[in-house]
Structure 1
Amino acid sequence: MKRRDYQPIYDNTFRRRRRSRRWLVTVLMLILIIGGGWGWYQWDAHQRAQVASYPVRGVTVNQDSGYLDFQQLAKHETFVYLQATSGATYTDDDFSDNYSRSQGASIQVGVAHTFSFTTSAQRQYAHFTSTVKRNTGTLPIMVAVSYYGKYNSGNSTMATQGQKLKQLVTRLNRRYHQGVVIFASRAVLNQFVKPVLPQQDYWTAGGKLSGHSQQVKLIEYQANGTVTQNGQELPVARSVFNGSQREWHAFTK
């Protein structure tokens, strides 16, 4: 009689335990996926409800946004800011074309400059004015400020840099008479901007949609947003005006 091949009992037990663990891991992963999806849905619904409570909404675009139809954009947005310059030498490749085409649409237009810590206020002012000339739209000029490299709250020269920013804003106000709004994160606003421009209008970068003072005129709530045109998703930054329609009309004068 042939000898039967008996496997040790612990081998079967080990296999059952391993199958049980795999099943448990699968169940846990499904719970996490479903729970994460539901959580994202809830957050997205809450975000959309918050955005809907702001009557004035708009976008910021630059050369990475691609070709935008401003007539289509005007159907959904109240305003658009166009990136124009940065520092003393950089010009957005699409600024001139974007500005020209935006003039035929029923949308409020503003222009933006990115502040540089490494060049003087005079050079930045000269570059901005020579690039945009009188094409500054109907909104306050946006000056974007953000820390980079060694230029942060720990740098002992930041007080001097603050005076440079103040000089640039003063020059822009004197030439264009339409106001300036400073775009920055809350940290940069509190640490760098407010000490030198305490009465300035502000635009928070990446901020929450609630809990802002009246001095914060605009709130960027989605830096990596998109708009869909002709079946394509085009990258834009999304913001809202922190106030009513009546306050918006006062802001744009």
Structure 2
Amino acid sequence: MGRTRRKTWRWRIAGLVLLIALVGAVWGGWRALHWQPPRSEYPVQGVLVGEADGDVDFTALRATGADFAYLEASRGASGRDADFPRNLDAVGAIGLPHGVVHAYDPCVPAERQTANFVTIVPRDATTLPPVIALDKLASECGDPVIEAAVESELTTFINQVENHVGQPVVLKIAPTFEARYGIATRIERNLWLERDFVQPDYAGRPWTLWTANTRLMGEGNLTGLRWVVVQP
């Protein structure tokens, strides 16, 4: 009888531990979906939006707490975000401060990417600084000459974009790109870094923008929001 009771208690304790673990996982998942950095520490917060987000309700984004929006606009030499024109009109209609993002392709010459960018992105002195997203590695191009010229081509593109918009760009650097090229310490521009829930430190110097949560759930059934904060 004693052994039976001990086994019963072991099963009960194991069940209780499992239940606690499940509750913790559910709570952790719920918190992740709703977590925003505290406004007391980061008063200005916003969102990154592109065609992968579908038909975005920017009024709902404002209700979620977005003080600004960055809109994905162009990619490489010919890629264009299908929803950029609609998103640009939408943020303008409600007066939401906004900027644009170009996804840089190291496999493509700077001049061709500039031509794509200036065709789709209008000159507008009231917009936020433009962003160059650095994610794709030149090693994917399969050409050692391109690999060796990453920094010089990127610098050319930066200068051309800045001449078009009339203000310095922000470099949105992925961890893998920074680990490979060390661009953050080689090109002096404001930085946009990314890491869910924990402040990023992989650039070796302070960031200006931080993607703090890539799966935020917002108002109006908005899901998977890429939530961004500004360094105060």
When normalised by structure 1's length, the TM-score is 0.74
Matched, 1:66 2:54: yes
Q: 2:74 pairs with 85, 88, 91, which one?
A: 85
Matched, 1:107 2:96: yes
Q: Which amino acid in structure 2 is aligned with residue 228 of structure 1?
A: E
d(CA) in 1 for partners of 2:7 and 2:138?
A: 51
Q: Could you tell me which runs of 5 or more consecutive residues in structure 1 were left unpaired when the two chains were aligned.
A: 1-11, 244-253
d(CA) in 1 for partners of 2:75 and 2:44?
A: 27
Q: Which amino acid in structure 1 is aligned with residue 16 of structure 2?
A: V
Closer/same/farther in 2, CA of residues 180 and 89 from structure 1, 3 Å limit: same
Q: Which amino acid in structure 2 is aligned with residue 57 of structure 1?
A: Q
Q: Which amino acid in structure 1 is aligned with residue 75 of structure 2?
A: S
Superposed CA offset, 1:3-61 (max 9, x none): xxxxxxxxx898777655533421221233345567x39x76xx646354211110000
If asked which structure has higher relative contact order (CA below 8 Å, sep 6+), I would say: 2
d(CA) in 2 for partners of 1:73 and 1:137?
A: 20
Q: Could you tell me which runs of 5 or more consecutive residues in structure 2 were left unpaired when the two chains were aligned.
A: none
- For residue 160 of structure 2, what is the aligned residue in structure 1? 171
Alignment of 1:25-44 (within 5 A): 25-36=14-25, 40=28
1:191 positional shift: 4.6
Q: How many residue pairs were aligned?
A: 224
- For residue 129 of structure 2, what is the aligned residue in structure 1? 140
Could you tell me the percent identity over the aligned residues?
22
1:136 positional shift: 8.0
d(CA) in 2 for partners of 1:90 and 1:84?
A: 9
d(CA) in 1 for partners of 2:95 and 2:164?
A: 26
Superposed CA offset, 1:62-116 (max 9, x none): 1122222334433522110011011112111100111012111131110111011
Matched, 1:194 2:184: yes
Q: 2:212 pairs with 221, 241, 252, which one?
A: 221
Q: Do the aligned partners of 2:184 and 2:205 also contact (CA within 8 Å) in 1? A: no
Structure exhibiting the larger radius of gyration computed from Cα positions: 1
d(CA) in 2 for partners of 1:49 and 1:96?
A: 30
Matched, 1:184 2:173: yes
